[in-house]
Amino acid sequence: MSNPQTRPALVLVGHGMVGQRYLEALAERGVTATHRITVLCEEPRPAYDRVHLTSYFSGSSPEDLSLTPAGFMAEHGIELHLDDPAVSVDRDARTVTARSGRVFPYDVLVLATGSYPFVPPVPGKDAPGCFVYRTVEDLLAIEAYAKGRTSGAVVGGGLLGLEAAGALQGLGLATRIVEFAPRLMPVQVDEGGGAALLRTIEGMGLTVHTGVGTQEVVADGPGGAVTGMRLSDGTTVPTDLVVFSAGVRPRDQLARDCGLDVGERGGIAVDARCRTSDPRVYAVGECAQAVDGRVYGLVAPGYEMAETAADDLLGRGREFTGADLSTKLKLLGVDVASFGDAHGATEGSLDVVWSDSRSGVYKKLVVSPDGVLLGGVLVGDAESYGLLRPLTGSVPPAAPERLVLPAGIGGAVSLGPASLPDDAVICSCHNVTKKAITACTTLPEVKKCTKAGTGCGSCVKVIGQLLPASTDKGLCGCFPYTRAELYEIVRTLRLTSYDQLLDSHGRDTARGGDGCEVCKPAVGSIIASLAPTIGASGYVLAEEQAALQDTNDHFLANLQRNGSYSVVPRIPGGEITPEKLIVIGEVARDFGLYTKITGGQRIDLFGARVDQLPQIWARLVDAGFESGHAYGKALRTVKSCVGQTWCRYGVQDSVALAIALEMRYRGLRAPHKLKSAVSGCARECAEAQSKDFGVIATANGWNLYVGGNGGATPRHADLLAQDLSDAELVRLIDRFLMFYIRTADRLERTSTWLERLEGGLDHLRDVVVHDSLGLCAELEALMADHVAHYRDEWAETLSDPDRLRRFVSFVNAPGAPDPTVKFVPEREQVKPDLAVLQISPSPTLEPLGGTR
């Protein structure tokens, strides 16, 4: 290797996502060995994943977001200066001066300064409580300021604005979004997609203002903190915190000051090789205006520019002339995707639309008169994005009206990866084709060799479908272990957090990441079921555990179609005193809730706002009720008939046993929900044989049935043991449930698990009845731990003011109803107002047509 001091000097200004990708491209091409490389970074930390910035609020640390592999800089001899941005460039002397005063000579200068948040020039924009949403430091500041405050507002309803709104809501703030355009995400989705997105987001409790601008941020006197916002329609809304997310502008001031050409509307002008007006200076990413006159604000085009600039150093002739603007994101839990000519700007284009307002799904494909797919918009269901986007510019193998139909509807067609041509671009972030992916055999190999799947991640599912059938039985791309193996790892090593498990046993490609929607709830369930044994908190919303839970668990209630929640107190065995029955009636009356006696022998209360949940549960807990776990992957109910006590056919006291079993297994977290029943005789009035575990009385004791379920694919339970005493029955159920929890896959019902179990019922009987594996004592001990440490989740929540901050009103005026949660009378009760939800009587399929 040559003397570092004699090698050409390359200075990179900016170390964001694109800057780091440029350094990796240099390393891959051997340039780090031939050049002396210096990086000037404005932020106090190396490059991190800005695309997934919001995951910080769901448990990821700033270190988890890092994109800079440990030892990367030292390995490649790169000199990184943090918190020391460039302040001037002298192109004649070929030097860059940093804020610290240090001067760095260059032979090649690369500008990757990115963009800055645009803050509208409104009065009060600098008041305490006003923030932007761009960096980790911004998030830390927002988090700190939000403590003790109740409401927040986001100016801007684009990609980052919706992420910011989700973050504020997650911090316990009643949140509103103000968007100047007539719809949310105006760049990515059309009017129909925006309407579907609006309905879904309002159903989550956020207040949305579209078609209005922010006129002024109202503060508490000169120099005082934010107290509200005045909008262009004349209204003033209260808020304690304002986040500006109204778009970004290219950071081109450094280029302007040193005389480089810039675009008329901003952005450092570059040619197809990413060279500026000075051939020794390159510009890549969001600070650059490409030859097509566009400044690209997505990471994929930035990566492509980084590759182009790196290749040009070696004279390879690569060019960047434009990029795909397709995007697929999950915003506030809603899938949103757009690709190609999503707005139908092509002359003569036609729209094919499927709209189902009831489920919040909107799909539109834009096609040419001769059937060429030009683009599309998908809201609420973006499963087909990974296969439709690569088909853009070609005639799909099926009629477009069949491609937008949901699965299960006659005529619907679901494309497979085989329908894609070899030159179809599967990973737009790194411009990787189907042919390049199919040259590999495993996902880790694909990521290592092509980098596909390491960007936004939207292509990972399609990549998996393109690869040969794998023997890898890992739970997901984050772990090479099954759920059962992860259970044993957590139990044996007493790991109490998801991060510990990911760091110690995750795949190399996943370590340092923040996991995925598959493994997070699964690991959360494992930790919850093992909490007493491993020393973890049994409260599912404690610390990191909250970020792992499924949607309903976040509020310990089931979200309903109009944004309200259900309240389901536990009523063991369906037995209830008149006093408790009166309390339920009074609560339902006082809060205007819809009440229904269910098939599971409970009384469900519907229509509660999220801010009302603590008030409702305070009254129920005071009356002796506890959570019925209708929202969790846990035991729901143990149904019963009236049994021997009342029924002339009964041979055992089914009610007493049902109550004992429900109280024993309440709160038991499992791979899937659990249902049970006890019948007092062979007439089977409680339908025990359709349950995960069911008990039927005999003249000599109890028969135990396992592995049944109702639903769309009903299965009768199998007889595991018969004529059991009370003690024998409980002991076998303990063993059965813990063996299921220990060995089942994620979201696997006992019926599916039993059919999959090698050896089936005979093997299960050997294990839990005859103790063939010597596990029974351990299984019983695990259940004993659960029973001994059970505490009601709602009682736990009500006892802690910090936990109650999660349950905030969806309106800023305390006690005022959320205008998006409305009801109309029906049969002397209430039901959701369908007119507010804009729900059509039935899904509609618009025919091919509508020439533009």
Q: What is the SS3 assignment for 737?
A: helix
Query: How many Å apart are CA 305 and CA 321, to the nearest integer?
Result: 9
| CATH code at position 359 | 3.30.390
CATH classification of the domain holding 437: 1.10.10.1100
pLDDT at 87 over 70: yes
Note whether 715 and 742 are same-domain residues.
yes
130/196 same-domain check: yes
Provide the pLDDT for residue 140: 92
Min mean pLDDT across 364-368, 561-565, 775-779, 846-850 is at 846-850
> 487 and 576: one domain?
no
Q: Say if residue 221 is in the same domain as residue 137.
A: yes
Distance CA 444, CA 422 (A): 21
**Burial tier of 799 (Cβ tally within 10 Å: 0-12, 13-18, 19+):** exposed
- 457 pLDDT band, cuts 50/70/90, is low
Nearest Cα neighbor of 592 from 834, 821, 358 is 821
Lowest-pLDDT choice from 282-291, 311-320, 779-788: 311-320
Cα–Cα distances in Å, from 289 out to 296, 460, 803? 8, 30, 48
Q: Which of 98, 120, 74 is nearest to 216 (CA)?
A: 120
What are the helix (H) ranges across 666-807? Answer: 726-743, 750-756, 760-768, 776-789, 793-798, 801-804
pLDDT at 814: 42
**More reliable by pLDDT, 290 or 807:** 290
**548 inside domain:** no
Summarize the confidence of residues 373-391 as an average pLDDT: 85
CA distance 808 to 612: 8
Average pLDDT over every residue of 536-548: 72
Question: Quick check: helix, strand or coil at residue 763?
Answer: helix
Q: Where residue 45 falls among pLDDT bands split at 50, 70, 90?
A: very high
Domain end marker among 204, 223, 246: 246
Answer yes or no: is 838 within a domain. no
Res. 710 pLDDT band, cuts 50 70 90: confident
Rounded to whole angstroms, how far apart are CA atoms 842 and 355?
9
407 Cβ contact list (under 8 Å, min separation 6)? 414
Q: Which of 288, 313, 338 is the last residue of a domain?
A: 313
In terms of C-beta distances under 8 Å and separation of at least 24 residues, what long-range contacts does 121-126 make, across chains too? 122/214, 122/215, 122/216, 122/217, 123/216, 123/217, 124/216, 124/217, 124/218, 124/219, 124/226, 125/217, 125/244
Q: What is the mean pLDDT of residues 608-626?
A: 92
Q: Is residue 319 part of a domain?
A: no
| pLDDT for residue 832 is more than 90 | no
Least reliable range by pLDDT among 123-132, 141-150, 175-184, 190-199: 190-199
Task: Tell me which of 558 and 650 has the higher pLDDT.
Answer: 650
Of 87-91, 683-687, 809-813, which gets the smallest average pLDDT? 809-813
Give the pLDDT of residue 840: 35
Q: Is residue 31 part of a domain?
A: yes
On whether both 425 and 349 belong to a single domain, the answer is no
Q: Does residue 807 lie in a domain region?
A: no
Q: How many domains does the chain have?
A: 6
**Spatial distance between the Cα atoms of 142 and 154, rounded to a whole number of angstroms:** 12
Query: What is the domain-level CATH number for residue 735?
Result: 3.30.413.10
Domain's final residue, options 271, 287, 313: 313
Quickly state the pLDDT bin for 758 (edges 50, 70, 90). confident
Residue 844 has what pLDDT? 38
Are 677 and 726 part of one and the same domain? yes
Q: Where are the alpha helices (DSSP H) in 204-359?
A: 253-257, 299-313
Q: 343, 298 in Cβ contact below 8 A?
A: no
| Spatial separation of the C-alpha atoms in residues 518 and 515, rounded to whole Å | 8
User: What one-character DSSP code corresponds to residue 717?
Assistant: P
Asked if pLDDT for residue 508 goes beyond 90, the answer is no
Least confident of 16-25, 150-159, 313-322: 313-322
Residues 769, 645 share a domain? yes
82-86, 395-399, 837-841: which is most confident: 82-86
Question: Do 294 and 306 fall within a single domain?
Answer: yes
Q: What's the pTM?
A: 0.57
The reply to whether 601 falls in a domain is: yes
pLDDT at position 435, please? 87
Same domain, 666 and 745: yes
pLDDT band at 199 (very low <50, low <70, confident <90, very high): confident
Pure H helices in 684-749: 726-743
pLDDT reported for residue 189? 83
> What is the pLDDT averaged over residues 767-784?
94
Q: pLDDT averaged over the chain?
A: 87
Q: Are residues 561 and 694 in the same domain?
A: yes
**For 253-312, what is each residue's pLDDT tens digit?**
999 999 999 998 899 999 999 999 999 999 999 999 999 899 988 888 999 999 999 999
Per-residue confidence band for 586, with pLDDT thresholds at 50, 70 and 90: very high
Could you say which DSSP state residue 406 is in? Answer: P
Question: For the domain that residue 309 is a member of, what is the CATH number?
Answer: 3.50.50.60
pLDDT of 616 above 70: yes
User: Could you tell me which residues come within 8 angstroms of residue 141 by beta carbon, excluding any fewer than 6 positions away?
Assistant: 131
In 3D, which of 312, 356, 398 has the Cα closest to residue 837?
356
pLDDT band at 563 (very low <50, low <70, confident <90, very high): confident
Q: Which helix (H) or strand (E) holds 374?
A: strand 373-379
70-74, 558-562, 581-585, 764-768 — which is least confidently predicted? 558-562
Cβ neighbour number for residue 582 with a 10 Å cutoff: 11
Query: Residues 33, 109: one domain?
Result: yes
Looking at residue 842, its pLDDT comes to 34
The most confident of the ranges 67-81, 276-290, 365-379, 539-553 is: 276-290
* Residue 2 confidence (pLDDT) above 60: no
> What pLDDT sits at residue 810?
41
Whole-angstrom Cα distance, residue 284 to residue 251? 11
Look at residue 353 and give its three-state secondary structure.
strand
Q: Please report the pLDDT score of residue 470 as a whole number.
A: 55
What whole-number distance in Å separates Cα of residue 602 and Cα of residue 624?
15
- Helix (H) and strand (E) counts for the chain? 26, 39
What's the pLDDT at 837?
46
Cα–Cα–Cα angle for 329, 199, 189, rounded to 5 degrees: 45
Query: Mean pLDDT, to the nearest integer, of 509-522?
Result: 74
pLDDT at 321 over 70: yes
Question: What integer pLDDT is reported at residue 91 of this predicted model?
Answer: 96
Identify the three-state secondary structure at position 603.
strand
- Higher per-residue confidence, 247 vs 277: 277
Residue 96 pLDDT > 70: yes
H/E run at residue 525: helix 519-534
Higher pLDDT among residues 371 and 282, named by residue: 282
Burial of residue 663 (number of CB atoms within 10 Å: 0-12, 13-18, 19+):
middle
Q: Are residues 444 and 581 in the same domain?
A: no
* pLDDT of the residue at 509: 63
Mean pLDDT of 726-749: 95
Give residue 359's domain range: 324-415+844-852
Task: Give the pLDDT band of residue 365 (cuts 50, 70, 90).
Answer: very high
pLDDT in tens, 591-604: 999 999 988 889 99
Query: Which pLDDT score, from 0 to 100, does residue 468 have?
Result: 75
The answer to whether position 814 is within a domain reads no
589 has a pLDDT exceeding 50: yes
Whether residue 595 is contained in a domain is answered as: yes
pLDDT exceeds cutoff 70 at 229? yes
Q: How far apart are CA 417 and CA 716, in angstroms?
A: 37
